[in-house]
Structure formats: C-alpha cells, structure tokens
Chain A
C-alpha cells in the first residue's frame, strides 16, 4: 500500500479493523480508540483522499467510514457503535465503485458526542461540542453546542440540556404537539414562535392531555405558564421524567 499514514501515540485498538487506503492520506491523532469487536470496523479512504482524526477520539465497533475526498473528526469526539460516515453516496458509473463523484467533505468538530447507530451523509458538518442522539441520520449542518436527533436529525435543544433519559420526551414532543394542536408541520423545539401564539386555555388542556396519554407525565397549567419555546416544555417533561 502506498498510502501516507500518520498515527499518533497510544492508540488503543480493540480487535482488528479493516483499513483500505490506497494513495490516501490518513492522519490519526494520539490515544485513538477504535473497537472492532464484536463487529469489525472499517476505514476506507479512496485515492487522493484525506481522513483526518484528531486526538483522543473514540469510535465504537461496527463503524463504516469512507472518505473519497475529505473526512475530518475533531479532538475528543466520542462516537458510539455502528457509525456510518461517508462523504460520497456511492453513486458512480454502473457497477464501478472505483471512481466517485459528487463527494462533499464531512467535517465533525471537537468535543462532539455521537450516539450509537448514527448515519452521517456526505456534506454534513457537525459543530464543536454538538451531541447527536442514537439512531439519528445527519444530513446537513448541526450548529455547535446543539443536540440533534431523529431521521433526518433536527436540532432538539442545547447539548447540555438534552439527556438520553429525556430522549423519549425530546424526540416525541414535537410530534405530540403537532397532533394535539393540529399543526400543519412538526414544530422545531428551538422555535420560539410556537409557544407565544398557542397558549390559550384550550391549547394547554389539549397539550397536557396528550402528554399525559403519550408519555405518562402529568403537567399542570402552572408548569406551562412561563415557557418560551418547545425546548422549555421538553426540559420540564425531562425533569418530571427523571
């Protein structure tokens, strides 16, 4: 193999990953942890492509990372098992996978926490300190410090606020609000306009009834009095959930 590889110190490899990197640049920082047990992880870096991984990055087992142009993962980012991360969509000439086109670099920032079974599609950018909930599909940009989830992932709140314990509430709430208030589309949690116009007595009653039946959490009218956005409602639901 004629690839150029820079590997930092103290790598911690569990099991043996499969690495295909011909004529490619592979830059891996210090204390890289990659699990390939119980399911093998593979890194595939195409010709003249770059895969750059920072220091203290952890990646779980069963990962599939393919770079045909450029994939970057920032320092201290931790990624759960069964990641799929690719900068192309593998649509090349019929049956010929040797040349890829339409590659768009994927850039993952520093200090991100990415859950299990997350799929990150080409051209996605995840900002520093962002959090991605398990099972999400990322297609596009996630701002720094945000918590995103769902398929396709939407911003659900700030990374420091959304816990995986309150994950059910955070992910289910927009759908519940849509059904309860008969909205045309699913509202975003960080959308401040949603709270302002909707809190008539009847809306509050419908919403609390829906939250009680769907999530088993009883909210009082007082709980909902001072909310500024759906994220606040999610925070209250999460607090009661734990």
Chain B
C-alpha cells in the first residue's frame, strides 16, 4: 500500500493553506495548514511567512471581530484546539510556538460575537513577543504581555506582564526562573 501513499503532507499542507487561509488579509509565503482551521475574519488577520497551523484533532480558530486585528509573525506554529481571538488587537511575534488548547484573546469571551449583542465589553490588547513558547492549555488573559523568548508552562493562566527570557507558570503565572 505504501506505493499508493496519498499526496505528501508538505504538498497538501501548502495547498491547504492557500484554500483555508483565503479569508485572511495577508498570508506570507510558505504558510501551511494541517487539516482545516476556522478563520472568521470580520476585522483584519495578517499572517507572516512559513506560519504553520495544526488543526489535526481540533481546529485552530482565528477570529477577528469588527475593528479587531490579529498579527501573527513569521514561522509561528499554533497547535490544535487553540483559539486566537481579537476584538481589538492580538499580536504574536515571529518564531513563537503555541501549544494545544491554548486561549489567546483580548476579551473574556473569545470567539465570534453576536452582532446584535453590541460591541464586546472592554477588549484589552494582547502582545506576545518573538520566540516565545506557550505550552499546552495556556490561557492568556486580556491585557497581558509576554516578553521575547519567554516560556509559559503548561496549564498556566497569564494575567499581566511576563518579562522576556524567563520561564513562568502557575495560576496565575509567576516567574519561575529568570534568564
């Protein structure tokens, strides 16, 4: 059977990205999607080059509300079941990795909102630096900033600022190790 293996994944993922990311405003070259992500773009979504989204077991969801902006840098990887939701602004720096079932949102109720319900209350921008690593099931609360190269341990809830280059974890996340 191996002789009849399906089209290689580098090809399906590259072609899939063309198809599934077509609702984004900008997608850099070499972007890849593994299975189908949910993209709900009512504002602006900008993806850098060689971004990879793995939607293998549960989709990755990128949601921008009216006036909201998601900026994802080059070579960012987002694993399955994670949601990135911006009613105002979410920025993720280049080379950052986001684990499975993470929540990165600038409001407390991520996802598409009912337009009839009016604008969401108090979105506060989220910023994640370059080369950061969010492990599995990390929640980044509205208004948080994570510095370049920071590592957030699995299951943590980030509320506030995490300095660059440190390892942080817990509920709420505190710095566990600096440098």
Q: Complex Cα distance A193/B157, Å?
A: 31
Instruction: Tell me the nearest residue of chain A to B60, going by C-beta.
Output: A38
Given contacts A60-B109, A78-B108, A168-B172, contact A241 B114 (CB under 8 A): no
- Most chain B Cβ neighbours within 10 Å, of A115, A164, A172: A164
Given contacts A38-B38, A116-B103, A165-B143, contact A135 B171 (CB under 8 A): yes
Are the C-beta atoms of B160 and A134 separated by less than 8 Å?
A: no
**Chain B residues near A165 (CB-CB < 8 A):** 124, 143, 159-160
Are the C-beta atoms of A134 and B111 separated by less than 8 Å?
A: no
**Chain B residues near A42 (CB-CB < 8 A):** none
**Chain A residues near B110 (CB-CB < 8 A):** 60-61, 80-81
| One of B101, B111, B157 near A35 (C-beta < 8 A) | B111
Are the C-beta atoms of A241 and B174 separated by less than 8 Å?
A: no
Are the C-beta atoms of B81 and A164 separated by less than 8 Å?
A: no
Interface size class, chain B: 20 to 34
- A119 CB to nearest chain B CB (Å): 12
- B161 CB to nearest chain A CB (Å): 9
Interface of A: prevailing SS: loop
Q: Complex Cα distance A168/B171, Å?
A: 8
Q: Flag A154-195 by CB within 8 Å of B: 1 or 0 each.
A: 000000000011111001100000000000000000000000
Instruction: Tell me the nearest residue of chain A to B163, going by C-beta.
Output: A216
- B87 CB to nearest chain A CB (Å): 13
**Chain A residues near B137 (CB-CB < 8 A):** 117
**Chain A residues near B134 (CB-CB < 8 A):** none
**Chain A residues near B55 (CB-CB < 8 A):** 38
Q: Complex Cα distance A178/B124, Å?
A: 32
**Chain B residues near A81 (CB-CB < 8 A):** 83, 103, 110-111
Question: Which of B122-175 touch A at CB < 8 Å?
Answer: 124, 137, 139, 141-143, 157, 159-160, 171-174
- A171 CB to nearest chain B CB (Å): 5
Instruction: Tell me if A113 counts as interface (CB < 8 A to partner B).
Output: yes
Instruction: Tell me if B117 counts as interface (CB < 8 A to partner A).
Output: yes
**Chain B residues near A61 (CB-CB < 8 A):** 83, 110-111
Instruction: Tell me if B73 counts as interface (CB < 8 A to partner A).
Output: no
**Chain A residues near B83 (CB-CB < 8 A):** 38, 61, 81
Are the C-beta atoms of B117 and A33 separated by less than 8 Å?
A: yes
Instruction: Tell me if A10 counts as interface (CB < 8 A to partner B).
Output: yes
Are the C-beta atoms of A10 and B116 separated by less than 8 Å?
A: yes
**Chain B residues near A82 (CB-CB < 8 A):** 101, 103
Known: A12-B116, A81-B110, A168-B174. 8 other contacts (CB 8 A): A39-B81, A60-B109, A82-B101, A115-B108, A134-B171, A135-B172, A164-B141, A165-B160
Closest 5 CB pairs of A and B: A167-B159, A135-B171, A12-B114, A38-B61, A135-B157
Offer 23 A-B interface pairs, CB within 8 angstroms, sorted by A. A14-B111, A14-B112, A35-B111, A37-B59, A37-B61, A39-B58, A56-B117, A61-B110, A62-B101, A79-B109, A116-B139, A134-B139, A134-B159, A135-B172, A164-B159, A167-B159, A168-B159, A168-B160, A171-B171, A171-B172, A172-B172, A214-B174, A241-B160
